[in-house]
Amino acid sequence: MQKENNAPFMYPSEAQTYGVIDRMAAADAIDEAVAELRINGYTVLDSKLPVDFLDRLKSKLDHVYEVQVREAGGEEILRAMNDADIARCLLAYDQDFLSVATAAPLMDFAKRALGPEFVLLMQNGIINRPERENYQAKWHRDLNYQHWTSSKTLAVNALLCIDPFTNDNGATFVLPATQHVEAYPPASFVSKFEKQVTVPAGSYLILDAMLYHRAGINTTNTVRRAVNHVIGLPFMAQQIDLPSALANRDYAPPEDPLTRKYLGYRWSPARDVNDWRNRRKG
């Protein structure tokens, strides 16, 4: 049947291409999220963690922060070093935060985005309080002070949103695709292209660690909490030596070989020649 001359042309529902011989994988939602990360520099991934577990994390994060305030000698000391409202190395204080760092969707995503070998470089709890100055509200990369780019992703930061991230409570702003450009962009670019990313509780906001981003300002009357992870290739150093931090804690270090490698047991410098050779035997 011949099409009427005045009938509008309809593009096929699936995008067509020509001259394309290399495609990104798209087998499932994680592949699609990896593609978003590679191109735009950010994506959102469901953690699959239970709601009651997330609720428990709120009080546990607050508790760890209170412990660290006492360890530091008072919150005013943390303020002086721009480290207030940040609880560092949470998994060394409570085993539930190890579960956050090793959630199956996150580990699967890291493997596809970074390759088979990667290590947890840091884990920090972030407390965004109303009407309080937030040092993280300044534009930055999570690989700080770096002004170069890589053809492949070297590290990602995965921010588990314990509370929902909304426009009002300070959801993260991103500058899409800036992980591809060495220098910080002009102010006109920032104001034109910055994007605030709202995220439901229980999801990870995942950024390329070279993407420029900043926290928003919490204008509500409630606290917004999150747990951030920086996961990178093993040639990068951990912020805190996790195997040492986990020693002599209330729970035994993990025995699973893949988890131990992820936490840095495999990648810490060998004590001596014999230690180096013994590791290679394993």
Q: Strands 119-128 and 86-88: what pairing?
A: antiparallel
Distance, in Å, from the CA atom of 271 to the CA atom of 135, rounded to the nearest integer, reads 38
SS3 assignment, position 116? coil
4 found inside a domain: no
Distance, in Å, from the CA atom of 266 to the CA atom of 259, rounded to the nearest integer, reads 10
Distance, in Å, from the CA atom of 69 to the CA atom of 84, rounded to the nearest integer, reads 9
Identify whether the C-beta of residue 17 lies closer than 8 Å to the C-beta of residue 187.
no
Model confidence at 214: pLDDT above 70: yes
Write down the pLDDT at residue 273: 75
Model confidence at 3: pLDDT above 60: no
11 found inside a domain: no
Query: Starting from the edge strand earliest in sequence, which strands make up the sheet with 213-214, in order?
Result: 195-196, 173-174, 213-214
Strand blocks (E) in the chain: 42-46, 86-88, 119-128, 155-161, 173-174, 195-196, 203-208, 213-214, 224-232
6 found inside a domain: no
159 found inside a domain: yes
Tokens describing residue 204? 């990870």
For residue 30, how far is the Cα from the chain centroid? 15
197 found inside a domain: yes
Write down the pLDDT at residue 5: 62
SS3 assignment, position 155? strand
Distances 242 to 98, 192, 238, 260, 263 between C-alpha atoms, Å = 11, 40, 8, 10, 6
| 248 vs 18: which has the higher pLDDT | 18
Calculate the average pLDDT of the chain: 91
5 found inside a domain: no
The CATH number given to whatever domain includes residue 40 is: 2.60.120.620
Per DSSP, helices labelled H in 102-186 are 104-114
With a CB cutoff of 8 Å and minimum separation 6, the contacts of 95 are 251
- Specify the pTM: 0.89
Model confidence at 55: pLDDT above 90: yes
Domain that holds residue 266: 30-277
With a CB cutoff of 8 Å and minimum separation 6, the contacts of 218 are 128, 129, 130, 131, 132, 134, 168, 169, 170, 224
24 found inside a domain: no
- In 3D space, the residue among 187, 155, 134 whose CA is nearest the CA of residue 37 turns out to be 155
Distance, in Å, from the CA atom of 153 to the CA atom of 38, rounded to the nearest integer, reads 7
Write down the pLDDT at residue 132: 74
Angle, alpha carbons 198-203-206 (nearest 5°):
75
20 found inside a domain: no
Question: Considering its fold, how many domains does the chain have in total?
Answer: 1
Write down the pLDDT at residue 95: 94
Among 180-184, 189-193, 200-204, 244-248, the range scoring the smallest mean pLDDT is 244-248
- In 3D space, the residue among 32, 275, 36, 245 whose CA is nearest the CA of residue 120 turns out to be 245
